[in-house]
Amino acid sequence: MNCFKPLTCAALILSLGLAHAARAGEVAVAVAANFTGPMQTLAVEFEKETGHKAVPSFGSTGQFYTQIKNGAPFEVFLAADDTTPAKLEKEGDTVAGSRFTYVIGALALWSKKDGFVDDKGEVLKKGGFTHIAIADPEKAPYGAAAVETLKKLGVFDALQPKFVTGNNIAQAHQFVDTGNAELGFVALSQIYKDGKLTSGSAWIVSQNLHEPIRQDAVLLTRGKDNPAAAALLQYLKGAKASAVIESYGYRLK
């Protein structure tokens, strides 16, 4: 930029800044609890890159469905499954053609204690624990995947009396983190960063033991005229977002 008059240059810079601010907006995002870590990072990077601000709320997919149906002011939904966004789409609560799978989640059996969980999950059969945490399988897809895993391993009936059930995967993680359960099923993204386990010991559950945890994103009807909402969904499909997402242990396909 060539400015021969300081005042003219300052005015031009100010006007460009005001124009950028005018274009920037906010988007209210309902985010599945398992995606908390990545979303917190992505929200910062999204604002840096676009000027738009993502305002996330974290919780269980089932609870968000109820809130959306009751008129909650969310514009984008990042679910923990693919069935809930599809249901909302069928019921006319989303913008047609906007739904896509943004991640495929991974389930992990985790203990905060080093060496407590072996890398094959044999601890489930050996025992030696009083409580095991899971997310509510009726509300949280990761909880449903945990139940499916336990049934395939043939230990569900034996372990069910030891369940400590959280409303969502964040609460299940909290139970283990605070010691209220010696181990529990959590999202890998909660205990994994930059290619390594952040604490304790874990078994990454084989994808063969449960249905794929396909997590879909969708533009809700309330956000159809919000450029920030469309920009966020587009950003999630880009290379920068993909790098962040994969660093938390998610697969993209």
Tens-digit pLDDT profile for residues 159-183: 999 999 999 999 999 999 999 999 9
Q: Does residue 215 carry a pLDDT above 90?
A: yes
Q: Which pLDDT score, from 0 to 100, does residue 13 have?
A: 39
Determine what percent of the chain is predicted with pLDDT higher than 70: 91
Lowest mean pLDDT among 72-81, 104-113, 192-201: 192-201
Architecture of domain 24-104+213-247 in CATH?
Answer: 3-Layer(aba) Sandwich (3.40)
Contact of 169 with 219, CB cutoff 8 Å: no
Domain locations in the chain as residue ranges: 24-104+213-247, 106-209
Predicted confidence (pLDDT) per residue in 36-72, tens digit: 999 999 999 999 999 999 999 999 899 999 999 999 9
**When comparing pLDDT for 18 and 104, which is higher?**
104
Q: How confident is the model at residue 139 (pLDDT cuts 50, 70, 90)?
A: confident
pTM: 0.82
- Average pLDDT taken over every residue of the chain: 91
pLDDT at 107 over 60: yes
CA-wise closest residue to 80 among 216, 190, 233, 189: 216
* 246, pLDDT greater than 50: yes
For position 198, what pLDDT does the model report? 94
pLDDT at residue number 23? 63
Give all strands (DSSP E) within 107-235, no chain letters.
107-111, 132-135, 163-166, 183-187, 192-193, 196-197, 201-204, 213-219
For residues 226-242, average pLDDT: 98
Instruction: Tell me: pLDDT of 1 over 60.
Output: no
In contact, 28 and 76? CB cutoff 8 Å: yes
Asked whether this chain's domains 24-104+213-247 and 106-209 adopt the same fold, the reply is yes
Read off the amino acid at residue 102.
Answer: Y
Topology of domain 106-209, CATH: D-Maltodextrin-Binding Protein; domain 2 (3.40.190)
